[in-house]
Chain A
């Protein structure tokens, strides 16, 4: 049923979903852009962030601590994963990288299933953002509005790190030509590790922020992973602004289609991706030549 308040609230839903997708996708895309590895365990990282946050919340009852614990935990997991496994795959073909990250993702999901069972878990929103807010003509859950703001701040921080710091400059140079950066006397492998950690943290942060919106299950990352792929294909692989633009587009497509028929949300998303592939094969903001 179409009516204006419903439409506006779906637009807000799309904005919240889109912002989250943008954050997760930018993590995926900077890892791929810098390291050349597509991390199929990225959805599992998102899930891990949620569960780590949930565990912290159970102990402390503080949402802030849950967010910090969720992000840091996933960052550490990311760094360890890069150190122990991914590092040995830089010289191997893309297929092997896909296989190993896919396998790692499954291990994470099954491990969580073992520890937390398959039942869904819920983290309540922080007291400050509980309840609903009146926007004049409609009432909207406060926390979802807050998500947009929180994620926007996180993206801003990521932007500053990427575009205003020395590390970010190295990362962006590494995206262009990591061999050259290496030969300039910068330890690229250390940078790779940090980037993997930051990318994973973005997913983990999104995971715990999302936990009050959608209840947690071990499989929560799987759908998100597929959506991030679409986001990255639409926005262009390796492009940070592309991930943001793609995320917002994807979020709105899913939400607005859901007004009419949720069953078609993915069909529309896919149609958009196909359109982009036909018109701009390298994505809206992608650069030609990186494959």
Chain B
């Protein structure tokens, strides 16, 4: 996520665009080269939202670039459309619509499948443009005669022609593009997009409809591509058919990687490097056709050694220098804060009981009767019966423990309750609603979520950003396109995040990247992610696993305080802790419920003793 200093980046961009015509000619940039850089940069803004922020690497952006470009060019040349701006916008909308349809297919898969499908789709567009649609697109001749824009301001008419004159128009378009992209990136949707990049599984589990958000990112990228494609026609006074080629997509990908992904300005910088090298190597150095080989080698080296590209590398360098300078002053506050945090802990717990984390939690505390009822739950993996005919009921406000030897089917049972895996048979009723077979996202939205046995965090983000992602799901629902809303303007978000951070005792380190947290802290953040969605029923899968004795004591305290406002089910192997926490305990063995009762009853049960000790003896005998 970009820093949110108000309008600093916007101001600097405007300043840079104004100064460029005075500075760049001295560096050997021709006005036409600068204009092409701007078009690529605008094309790349959308692509960076898709690739850099959402993590979806598409090799098929040429399809939308070409679609937007040819729709605009057709309107302006063959259809006799007078208004350039309107034609560009129509081209953009056409590209967005095409992007939506293509996205429906391409986003059925992720990762390399997604990359392969986008390549294939873009290739289809290329062939369609050349053959079946050549009557409209001019085939391999393209569409010549695209006019440049002019605006009638009433008292005078401003006409942008070529060179630096056209630059003014393109710079304005780029500036508007940057402002919009920054708004999107800083919006709740932008935050969720980076969560999808970091950990799609968890983004789904905290209650976001990630398919919808990915499709949104895809359409945004297509819209930017379409507009940039239209500008290409305006810039060259001719819409070239090679806008549709695979090379266009490839060049965009390479420029973005060279400049730096996830920086928004990376594609612009990458395009500048690319076009400058092209001119420089071809003419000045006299490499001729070999310039592209040099560029390819530079690209491979950059991908190998400078992952975040030029802009990302500069950013890291800047942080290192600033970080070094301010380190002495920065080290002390966290130390103080953490001791204060420790002292504050009981107070924080009290505060949270005084002000329950959400209305939903308060509601559930007053209800009585079962909150969750599973009947005849069975899960079969091929010949293996993981869970067999489990009947399980938890009442409102209860704290239930689940124990069982390894392989008893505890985690599978949790996965079925949160609808991560569908049961082979049986039903699950949550708060009177049959949730069997719904999705993990919907279940989380209803107020049932889980903290994972193995941490599932958004590793590229900070502690606070992690909690924000989870809290957004609760506050905004599973899908909402508030692209231009600032994160700060969401009512209750900051309070919800602050409360959660306090509850899991991470309030002192909100801006620490997750990768720098200690294991115990990560574990608490994992619980915090689940808590921030304000669940009325919280499942915890081995919250104490891997913790030191000291951390265990603190985590048990934490679990006690969060259990005051909600119903909880805890799986753990630490029986002392579990017997201390839980009001009732269910024992699973070989996928079945062995016994259920109060901790004292369980301790005395001979069946349980046999399950644990007898099981061990059985293994030893065998």
* CB of A207 to closest CB in B, whole Å: 19
> Which residues in B have their C-beta under 8 angstroms from that of A223?
123
Interface size range on A against B: 35 or more
> Which residues in B have their C-beta under 8 angstroms from that of A265?
127
> Main secondary structure on chain B at its contact with chain A?
helix
Are B289 and A264 interface neighbours, CB within 8 A? no
B112 interface hit (Cβ, 8 Å): yes
A261 interface hit (Cβ, 8 Å): yes
Q: Which of B108, B123, B290, B307 contacts A226 (CB 8 A)?
A: B123
| CA–CA, A92 and B108, complex, Å | 23
| CA–CA, A32 and B116, complex, Å | 13
Are A99 and B127 interface neighbours, CB within 8 A? no
Are A110 and B296 interface neighbours, CB within 8 A? yes
B297 interface hit (Cβ, 8 Å): yes
Are B109 and A277 interface neighbours, CB within 8 A? yes
B340 interface hit (Cβ, 8 Å): no
With A102-B253, A264-B131, A291-B113 as contacts: A270 and B296 at CB distance below 8 Å: no
Mark out the residues of chain B between 188 and 227 whose CB falls within 8 Å of any chain A CB in the assembled complex: none
> Which residues in A have their C-beta under 8 angstroms from that of B124?
266-267, 269-270
| CA–CA, A113 and B296, complex, Å | 13
Q: Mark B163-178, 1 if CB is under 8 A from A, else 0.
A: 0000000000000000
The stretch among A66-74, A135-143, A228-236 that forms the contact with chain B is: A228-236
Q: Mark B233-254, 1 if CB is under 8 A from A, else 0.
A: 0000000000000100010011
Q: Mark A263-291, 1 if CB is under 8 A from B, else 0.
A: 11111011001100110010000000001
Q: Which of B55, B111, B132, B292 contacts A106 (CB 8 A)?
A: B292
| CA–CA, A100 and B298, complex, Å | 11
| CA–CA, A26 and B303, complex, Å | 27
Q: Which of A38, A107, A262 contacts B116 (CB 8 A)?
A: A38
Mark out the residues of chain B between 247 and 302 whose CB falls within 8 Å of any chain A CB in the assembled complex: 250, 253-254, 257, 289-290, 292-293, 295-297, 299-300
With A233-B117, A233-B120, A266-B124 as contacts: A277 and B132 at CB distance below 8 Å: no
Q: Which residue on chain A has the smallest CB distance to residue B293?
A: A110
* CB of B411 to closest CB in A, whole Å: 17
A96 interface hit (Cβ, 8 Å): yes
Are B300 and A104 interface neighbours, CB within 8 A? yes
B304 interface hit (Cβ, 8 Å): yes
* CB of A20 to closest CB in B, whole Å: 18
Mark out the residues of chain B between 572 and 616 whose CB falls within 8 Å of any chain A CB in the assembled complex: none
> Main secondary structure on chain A at its contact with chain B?
helix
Are A103 and B115 interface neighbours, CB within 8 A? no
> Which residues in A have their C-beta under 8 angstroms from that of B490?
none
Are A103 and B299 interface neighbours, CB within 8 A? yes
Q: Which residue on chain B has the smallest CB distance to residue A262?
A: B131
Q: Which of B57, B292, B299 contacts A98 (CB 8 A)?
A: B57
Are B253 and A111 interface neighbours, CB within 8 A? no
A252 interface hit (Cβ, 8 Å): no
| CA–CA, A113 and B294, complex, Å | 13
> Which residues in B have their C-beta under 8 angstroms from that of A113?
289, 293
Are B120 and A95 interface neighbours, CB within 8 A? no
B355 interface hit (Cβ, 8 Å): no
In this complex, the member of A92, A226, A233, A273 whose beta carbon has the largest number of chain B beta carbons within 10 angstroms is: A226
> Which residues in A have their C-beta under 8 angstroms from that of B116?
38, 229-230, 232-233
| CA–CA, A265 and B130, complex, Å | 12
| CA–CA, A222 and B249, complex, Å | 13
> Which residues in B have their C-beta under 8 angstroms from that of A230?
116, 120
Q: Which of A99, A110, A266 contacts B290 (CB 8 A)?
A: A110
B119 interface hit (Cβ, 8 Å): yes
B40 interface hit (Cβ, 8 Å): no
Give 21 CB contacts A-B under 8 Å. Answer: A85-B300, A95-B55, A98-B59, A98-B115, A102-B59, A104-B300, A107-B293, A110-B296, A114-B293, A226-B119, A226-B120, A226-B123, A233-B120, A261-B132, A263-B132, A264-B131, A266-B128, A269-B124, A274-B105, A277-B105, A277-B108
Chain A interfacial positions (CB closer than 8 Å to B): 32, 38, 85, 88, 92-96, 98-100, 102-104, 106-107, 110-111, 113-114, 118, 222-223, 225-226, 229-230, 232-233, 237, 261-267, 269-270, 273-274, 277-278, 281, 291
Besides A104-B296, A106-B292, 16 other CB < 8 A contacts?
A93-B55, A94-B115, A98-B57, A102-B59, A103-B300, A103-B303, A107-B293, A110-B289, A114-B293, A222-B246, A233-B117, A265-B127, A273-B120, A274-B105, A277-B105, A291-B113
